[in-house]
Amino acid sequence: MNLFFLNNSVYQIYLARELMFQYQIEPDDCTLVLRLTENHTSTLRTSPRSKPEILKIVDWNNIFFLGSRKSNSFFKRITNALDYEKKCLEIFHSYPKVGKVIFGNYGNESMRNLANKLIRLNVEVFFLDEGIGTLHLYQSREKNATGTLKKSMFYSLKYLFTSRLKDMIFKLKTGDVRGRVHFFTEYKLDSTDKTQIITNEYNYFKKLIENTVKTNESYFVGTPYVNKGRIALNTYIDIIKSFKNLNASAKIKYIPHPREDSAILKDELSALDIEILNISTPIEIYLMNLKQVPAHIGGFTSTSLHTIYSLFSHSCNFTIFKLPDAVINKNERFIFNYFKNEKKGSNFNFIESV
């Protein structure tokens, strides 16, 4: 049996199916342990009729729901991690033989703790892609890697103190996973002694979208920068105008970010004859289901743009805008430069100032 410890994420379910295809793992030999953000308190086994639609992508052998409450409280996070560990280990030990163990989120301390416990049992541990976050996590694991994103001294000392405290008192191993792990990622990274990179070529889903139709539309993928006060509204609209000028004859649709309130853009976009297209799934999944791809996609350094490129390859062109120098931070600059270097010579266009 192969165990998938995932968060309540549509994207992670799709990645899990892709990993099964790449390793020729039968879905019937896989159990899903899904961590919900709802206030469930017990481990529940689902019946086929109760499966949410997204879970039907994979015909799992079994599914367990684990509840979790989000909290910024130090001690609440500890109790969450201990509860998660206890229930997951019960599931793990209920199987006489476990093959691969796949986690959905390296950045989650409860999952890192569980991975640290299981890796001692000589279990093969995998982590699924976290989009752009994977680049940061990879850098943090490889201490001597070029371009490591250094944190402040205060943050480093705080992290060291809290992680040691959790270990000494509660036996929680929430730091980096000790031992070699596999990262299943679409990003072109180098394997090291600590991290084995397994490249996700999306071969399973590429088979499903072979007959995708290319339209003459253009999409701009939004971000919540205006809502968060990172960028002034007029600056953000100027960037969208720049994208519109590159697509003079095309119908343009604006795809809001899930955490973005696009209402504040409504009048400005309407004046530009740009339609706001609200979708309920990640844009890459929306396009796969639609089996249509726009001629041109624009936005910032978004995970979705990289994934759309991986899926649809040369079917469309991409324009990536750099945040203004006055607001861009080191992480965002690092990601922009990574995109620019990796996609050099491809159908990506990079605009550094508007």
pLDDT tens-digit profile of 220-236? 999 999 999 999 999 99
Helix, strand or coil, per DSSP, at residue 127: strand
Alpha-carbon span 22 to 277, nearest angstrom:
33
Contact (CB, 8 A) for 204 and 21 = yes
Q: What is the DSSP letter of 302?
A: -
SS (H, E, C) 73-84: CHHHHHHHHHHH
What pLDDT shows up at residue 47?
Answer: 36
| H-helix segments, 120-232 | 132-141, 153-170, 203-208
Exposure on the CB side of residue 210, measured as CA atoms within 13 A? 4
Cα four-point dihedral sign 142, 348, 283, 353: positive
Q: Delineate the domains of the chain, giving CATH numbers in brackets.
A: 2-205 (3.40.50), 209-351 (3.40.50.11110)
Task: Name the nearest CA neighbour of 316 among 262, 246, 242.
Answer: 246
Helix, strand or coil, per DSSP, at residue 58: coil
Contact (CB, 8 A) for 5 and 101 = yes
Give pLDDT < 70 ranges for the chain.
Answer: 37-54, 68-72, 74, 143-171, 345, 354
Cα four-point dihedral sign 103, 106, 111, 116: positive
Helix, strand or coil, per DSSP, at residue 197: strand
Alpha-carbon span 127 to 15, nearest angstrom:
10
Q: What is the DSSP letter of 72?
A: -
Q: pTM for the whole thing?
A: 0.82
Task: Name the nearest CA neighbour of 305 among 353, 260, 347.
Answer: 347
What pLDDT shows up at residue 44?
Answer: 37
pLDDT in tens, 258-271: 889 999 999 999 99
What pLDDT shows up at residue 354?
Answer: 66
What pLDDT shows up at residue 335?
Answer: 86
